[in-house]
Chains A and B, each alone.
Chain A
Amino acid sequence: DAKTTQPNSMESNEEEPVHLPCNHSTISGTDYIHWYRQLPSQGPEYVIHGLTSNVNNRMASLAIAEDRKSSTLILHRATLRDAAVYYCIHLRTGANSKLTFGKGITLSVRP
């Protein structure tokens, strides 16, 4: 089963880095890790995804462990607008791969 495990919540201070952890112990060789986030009263939005190597984009960085059983989403300087639910999704390869959303991790940002 393509399940991920995340803490229920985390707190951060504004303008400090945030590291959001995720465990995906059943991941296999060609499965990807995707992160989405959901701001209050909005639909989810894509953040980043990766396979093996660390990935960077304008929103965040994704650090994937060498054994690929865990990963960390890094927000380099948290802003109040980053307060959201962050979903780590283990996406299996295949023609009908689907996003499976757990409860995610609720990030609070203190001013």
Chain B
Amino acid sequence: NAGVTQTPKFRILKIGQSMTLQCTQDMNHNYMYWYRQDPGMGLKLIYYSVGAGITDKGEVPNGYNVSRSTTEDFPLRLELAAPSQTSVYFCASSFATGVSYEQYFGPGTRLTVT
């Protein structure tokens, strides 16, 4: 059981380039999330999904897009990379949402935009 896996671990992008951050979970969780964490700060929710085909915006969605075609995968797309998107990105999943369900996090992708 690998849990939540993310690729790549590190990436450097030039301004204006695009990329997709991959996230896969093997726990058959319905709910998946993308967060970003800036240095010295807590995590901020970018997008989340309550199941295949259903996504919704979180706190900081601008500049990102997501899709959820399968239960396992939840890729995050950056279309026109900007320096403000330099951050560590974490994907997470949970069986359900609500106060009693824990989220499981991946190891993160460290992205630098220069």
Chain A residues within CB distance 8 Å of chain B: 30-32, 34, 36, 41-46, 49, 51, 87, 91-93, 95-104
Known: A43-B92, A44-B90, A103-B40. A98 touches B105 (CB 8 A): no
Task: Please give 20 more A-B residue pairs, beta carbons under 8 A apart, in addition to A42-B108, A103-B42.
Answer: A30-B99, A31-B99, A34-B99, A34-B102, A41-B108, A43-B92, A43-B105, A43-B108, A44-B43, A49-B100, A51-B99, A91-B99, A92-B99, A95-B97, A95-B98, A96-B97, A97-B97, A100-B42, A100-B45, A101-B43
Q: In the complex, are the beta carbons of A43 and B106 less than 8 A apart?
A: yes
Q: List 12 A-B contacts (CB under 8 A).
A: A31-B99, A32-B99, A34-B99, A41-B108, A43-B90, A44-B105, A49-B99, A87-B42, A91-B99, A95-B97, A100-B42, A103-B42
Residues of B within 8 A of A98 (CB): 45, 48, 58
* Total contacting residues, chain B, CB less than 8 A: 23
**Interface residue B7 (Cβ < 8 Å from any Cβ of A):** no
Measured in the bound complex, the distance between the Cα atoms of B72 and A51 in whole Å is 31
